[in-house]
Homo-oligomer: A and B are copies of this chain.
């Protein structure tokens, strides 16, 4: 229900959690249906993007692309640009002392595909975000034992199988395992980092005026407009969101500003707006810098603000409500929640039908 686009829902009923292959087919049908597929230059690798001209006057975007099949380098120019490499692009793996001496296998959830290879093994899963929870549960059906290491303030309600134990963060690696913050230690054949991602923009030149500091991308207006060069938009940076819904809204927001549907705010207005939001996040909510683009419970407010600021059709509140419900169920009952089926009654209301 919530993973579709506002104007292009996922077809079918009777099932709320769909497998990855079906989601991919949906995205392809979306692109084809709106005539997008035919205008994409596939097999073109963007090497470099930079503004040509000064931000106070007319400037354009110079884009250097490598045409992969032909091995040629082309330079193109555009009036507007969307950066869309998403929030799950580059895996992040913290380093722990002694890690180089560890003789087991270390992988990141980014490269995780199937649980079968973990059959009979002792596995450490670091991180209890959605990936860590999901993968720990998934692997536990095959592994001999799984340890889920995390710093959540309270243990998730989900009842894991008996071969799953929970531990605090690792302090250091040993030759064959890990020492945890509570002083306990254990041996592991494999370690799986479920420690999230970092925003990277290898193709953006420093001249674009964008920086990433502790996973906080700056300076952005409402998480999607480059304040230094406002004809550069970012679609999909925020995480723990209803992705397609939000991206649709962000793109409509940028296009409305770019085409003069609403006036582009001044540089100062944009900076002040962002500062207000970040003060709220960092000071009142106690978020850290790396949570600058984390939505989760804040997503409804963000969507409403985007729509109101540019006079756009807002997202249906029921979408956010259903996503929040699903996120809670994920924490509370990881083993069963994917069998549940919902039905949307109106823009505000959903019911659980199974």
Interface residue ranges, A against B (CB under 8 Å): 47-48, 50, 54, 56-57, 64, 66, 71-73, 92-93, 95, 200-213
Task: Return chain B residues, CB-CB under 8 Å to A200.
Answer: 206-207
**Per a CB cutoff under 8 Å, which of B47, B56, B95, B201 touches A95?**
B56
Copies of this protein in the assembly total: 2
Instruction: For A95, list chain B residues within 8 Å (CB).
Output: 54, 56-57
Is A209 within 8 A of B211, CB to CB? yes
Known contacts being A207-B200, A212-B206, is A64 close to B47, with CB within 8 Å?
yes
The residue on B at minimum CB distance from A57 is B95
Contact of A211 among B73, B203, B211 (CB under 8 A): B211
Neighbouring B residues of A204 by C-beta, 8 Å: 205-206
Residues of B within 8 A of A213 (CB): 209
Could you say which of B66, B201, B209 contacts A212, with CB atoms under 8 Å apart?
B209
Complex Cα–Cα for A204 and B72 (A): 21
> Which of B57, B71, B93 sits near A73, CB closer than 8 Å?
B71
Contact partners of A203 in chain B: CB under 8 A: 48, 205
Closest residue on chain B to residue A208 by CB atoms: B206
Contact of A205 among B92, B93, B202 (CB under 8 A): B202
Residue from the set A48, A50, A95, A211 with the largest chain B CB neighbour count within 10 Å: A211
- List 5 extra interface pairs beyond A47-B47, A201-B205, CB under 8 A: A48-B48, A54-B95, A66-B73, A203-B205, A207-B212
Across-interface contacts of A72 in B (CB, < 8 A):
71
Most chain B beta carbons < 10 A, residue from A48, A205, A206, A213: A206
**Considering the chains assembled together, what is the distance between the CA atoms of A144 and B227 in angstroms?**
44
Distance (whole angstroms) from the CB of A333 to the closest CB of chain B? 36
* Complex interface: chain B residues within 8 A of A47 (CB): 47-48, 64
Task: Give the distance in Å from the alpha carbon of A202 to the alpha carbon of B92 in the complex.
Answer: 26
Neighbouring B residues of A73 by C-beta, 8 Å: 66, 71, 73
